[in-house]
A = this chain, B = another copy of it.
Amino acid sequence: MALGKNYDGQECSLAKALEIIGERWTLLVVRDAMYGVRRFGDFQAHLDIPRAVLSQRLAALVDAGVLERRRYQESPPRDEYVLTPMGRELWGIVLSLSHWGERHLTSAGPRRVFTHAACGTVLEPSSRCPTCQVQVPVGDVEVRPGPGLERSRHDQVSLALLEPHRMLTPISV
């Protein structure tokens, strides 16, 4: 059944948010950008996603103001994609949704553990640090492998994330 991209008649802000990030793959692209993935080839290798779909998702996220496109090389021209402040604000949603998936849909234990870089405490699902009693933005988070991680993937992003990694820090430089 074909459904339009918009939720006509649904004026609520949740519907508007879903028009942007509810599209298939989109929130996984955002998650990867939070890990520090910035380049087309890295997104593609890590997500195993068709090039056309990835191009469309990146363009839509740029249009919506979630990602910013930056030229990092002139010849040949190459762009990278960096989260805007608006995009970084999706962190709490990405983390909550991952926790929900983990609690209800997997049995292997967490694949990744997210801590407050300043103190090392594991974050609550809402990204609150129970030690410092603050809401932790994505740039202050460290990710490291958890007990549920399968080490079956060998793309550059998967390999970089086998070590502790500060979120938003570029994975390819």
Tell me the A residues contacting B by CB distance below 8 Å: 1, 3, 7-18, 20-22, 24-25, 27-28, 31, 47-48, 50, 52-53, 56, 65, 86, 89-90, 92-94, 96-106, 110-112, 125-128, 135, 150, 153
A28 and B93 alpha carbons, distance in the complex (Å) = 16
Contact of A24 among B3, B47, B52, B104 (CB under 8 A): B3
| A28 in complex: contacting residue of B18, B28, B103, B150, CB < 8 Å | B18
Query: How far apart are A99's CB and chain B's nearest CB, in angstroms?
Result: 7
CA distance A12 to B56 in the complex (A): 22
- In the bound complex, residues from chain B placing their C-beta under 8 Å from that of A105 are 13, 16-17, 20
In the assembly, what is the distance between CA of A103 and CA of B90, in Å? 12
Q: Which residues of B contact A86 (CB under 8 A)?
A: 104
A91 to chain B, nearest CB (A): 10
A110 to B56, CA, bound (A): 30
* Given A3-B25, A53-B3, A126-B92, A18-B48 contact (CB < 8 Å): no
In the complex, the 6 A-B pairs of residues with the closest C-beta atoms, listed nearest first: A13-B101, A17-B101, A126-B126, A13-B102, A16-B105, A9-B48
B17→A97 contact, CB < 8 A:
yes
Q: A92-B96, A92-B125, A104-B86 given as contacts; is B28 within 8 A of A14 (CB)?
A: yes
Q: Out of B21, B27, B31, B128, which one reaches A126, CB within 8 Å? A: B128
B106 and A13 contacting across the interface, CB-CB below 8 Å: yes
